[in-house]
Structure 1
Amino acid sequence: MEKNLKDYFTTGEFARLCNVKKQTLFHYDDIGILCPELVGDNGYRYYSYMQLEVFYTISMLKELGMPLSDIKKYLDHRSPRAFIDLLEKQQLEVEEKIQDLLWLKRFINTKLDITREGLTVPINKIFLETRPEEYLIATEYVGADVDKDIAAAVTEHLNFCHSLDIYSAYAIGGMIPIQCIVPGQSYIYSHFYTRTDCSNSGEVVVCPAGDFAVCCDNKGYDNVETICARLLQYADDCGYRPGTHIYEDLLLDEMSANGYDNYTVKLSLPLYKA
């Protein structure tokens, strides 16, 4: 056997080739998933070049989340057909992970856009904004203007969105009927909504493209009634017909603002030619 050892790698050499610690190879040997091809009279382990491919396959399957016990079962009964079945299964799992990562990337990008808008948007100034067609998942609110009822309704709305497999980067918004905007009185929501990119759901409400009068405030919800009244007055002064609801969105919330009173709220009123 001595004359053939030059064709083999010691545990340390094989570990360096595989970019792992020797302890990993010892563990694989202990559980029988990758045993050295030769063991010398001195107890030293020796691996062959051909075992590199086995190691890389084990590493790939581990990276995909396959337990070592399942990898061992496959290796103990490996065959071309079994290998095809294994790869096809892993192919599906990889595709699912890719889709999950793409969704997460879109989620992060949207959160970045919203937060950056919250940092740069004019505060307490009315401005015009032209928007494309948007899609909302909306649920009706019939409760009172009390925090407990609102919190329960928001939870129900979230659960409804999740039942549709919709997880949005946008904070939940509220629709305020313009007839409820009375100076000196608190406002009440008619619906809660979540913005979504999904336009093919039967539950989607389409918000048409158009112009909006917009005003933002960084003092939480304290000035919402006053701002809503200002938006309606702006529409009247400029000769617009207002939409039926004002849309209330959060740009900076608990994730980025320190405290409820420091939220940045965006209020938008659709405008139509009179």
Structure 2
Amino acid sequence: MEKNLKDYFTTGEFARLCNVKKQTLFHYDDIGILSPEIVGENGYRYYSYTQLEVFSTISMLKDLDMPLADIKKYLDHRSPEAFIRLLERQQQEVDEKIKELQWLKRFIDTKLRITKEGLSVPINEIFLETRPEEYLIATEYLGDDVEKDIAAAVTEHLNFCHSLDIYSAYAIGGMIPISCIVPGESYIYSYFYTRTDQSGSDAVIVCPAGDFAVCCDNQGYGRVEEICARLLQYAADHGYRPGAHIYEDLLLDEMSAGGYDNYTVKLSLPLLRA
């Protein structure tokens, strides 16, 4: 017996090899998921080298969020066929998690780019921007310039996007018809929109590639009417025909700036050749 024990690991040795605390091994023994191969008359526990592979499998399945009770069921009825079924299920779950992580990375990358743009963009200065073709999910707005109505319409727009399984890193934008840009009068939206890379949906509106006159302001919505008028004047002064709408986007919003007066708003007017 003493000679054979030289080929086994004590609880402490096995725990160090597996990079866990001894209490973890005690817990696994208590629930019957991994018990020591030998328990001496003195109560000492000994694990074999073959149990390292079992522990590794348990750890892998735990990392995949498989409950210990389910792991125990598998180990109690293990077979090559059962192992194949288990791996195929886990393979599918891993593939789904990879997709979720890829989406989350794209979301974070986009948010980072937008926020950095909000910190570096010229403020209250008109500049030109050439953009590629973009895709928008747009919903029409027929209400008045009333905050409660606008908030309800934005919520409905967001729900519509979610119904299409579209979750965008971009803040919801508004399309302001140039026909409503009148000095001394408040502007009104005609559409709310969300940028997307999903071009195949019937709900998608294509925003053609082209040049835009752009102006940003870091004082929220207070000077939107004034800036819109300046953009239209810029188009006229430089021999452009303005597009039908001015696009209103948020670069810094509640998540980064806090409070309407601190938002950074980006206003973009499509420039067409006269």
Corresponding residue SS for 1:2: coil
Corresponding residue of 1:251: 251
Corresponding residue of 1:68: 68
Corresponding residue of 2:131: 131
Shift of 1:200: 1.5
What is the alpha-carbon distance in structure 2 between the residues aligned to residue 177 and residue 26 of structure 1?
Answer: 70
Corresponding residue SS for 2:174: strand
> CA-to-partner distance for each residue in 1:82-140, whole Å, 9 max, x for gaps?
00000011001111111111111111111111011101111111111000000111011
Shift of 1:21: 0.3
Corresponding residue SS for 2:193: strand
Corresponding residue SS for 1:142: coil
What is the alpha-carbon distance in structure 2 between the residues aligned to residue 152 and residue 258 of structure 1?
Answer: 21
What is the alpha-carbon distance in structure 2 between the residues aligned to residue 202 and residue 43 of structure 1?
Answer: 71
> CA-to-partner distance for each residue in 1:229-249, whole Å, 9 max, x for gaps?
111111111111110000000
Shift of 1:197: 1.3
Shift of 1:209: 0.2
What is the alpha-carbon distance in structure 1 between the residues aligned to residue 153 and residue 258 of structure 2?
Answer: 24
Corresponding residue of 2:201: 201
What is the alpha-carbon distance in structure 2 between the residues aligned to residue 129 and residue 11 of structure 1?
Answer: 66
What is the alpha-carbon distance in structure 2 between the residues aligned to residue 204 and residue 30 of structure 1?
Answer: 57
Corresponding residue of 2:225: 225
What is the alpha-carbon distance in structure 2 between the residues aligned to residue 258 and residue 154 of structure 1?
Answer: 19
What is the alpha-carbon distance in structure 1 between the residues aligned to residue 260 and residue 180 of structure 2?
Answer: 24
| Within-5 A mapping of 1:86-235 | 86-235=86-235
Shift of 1:258: 3.3
Unaligned runs of 5+ in 1: none
Corresponding residue of 1:34: 34
What is the alpha-carbon distance in structure 2 between the residues aligned to residue 43 and residue 143 of structure 1?
Answer: 78
Instruction: Count the aligned residue pairs.
Output: 274
What is the alpha-carbon distance in structure 2 between the residues aligned to residue 107 and residue 54 of structure 1?
Answer: 38
Corresponding residue SS for 1:251: strand
> CA-to-partner distance for each residue in 1:14-57, whole Å, 9 max, x for gaps?
00000000000000000000011110001111100000000000
Corresponding residue of 2:21: 21
What is the alpha-carbon distance in structure 1 between the residues aligned to residue 19 and residue 200 of structure 2?
Answer: 48
In angstroms, what is the RMSD of aligned CA positions? 0.7
Unaligned runs of 5+ in 2: none
> CA-to-partner distance for each residue in 1:61-82, whole Å, 9 max, x for gaps?
0000100000001111100000
What is the alpha-carbon distance in structure 1 between the residues aligned to residue 73 and residue 30 of structure 2?
Answer: 15
Shift of 1:2: 2.2
Matching residue's letter, 2:193? Y
What is the alpha-carbon distance in structure 1 between the residues aligned to residue 108 and residue 91 of structure 2?
Answer: 26
What is the alpha-carbon distance in structure 2 between the residues aligned to residue 205 and residue 42 of structure 1?
Answer: 77
Identity across aligned pairs (percent)? Answer: 85
Shift of 1:204: 1.0
Matching residue's letter, 1:104? L
Corresponding residue SS for 1:130: strand
Matching residue's letter, 1:33? I
Over 4 Å off, 4+ runs: none
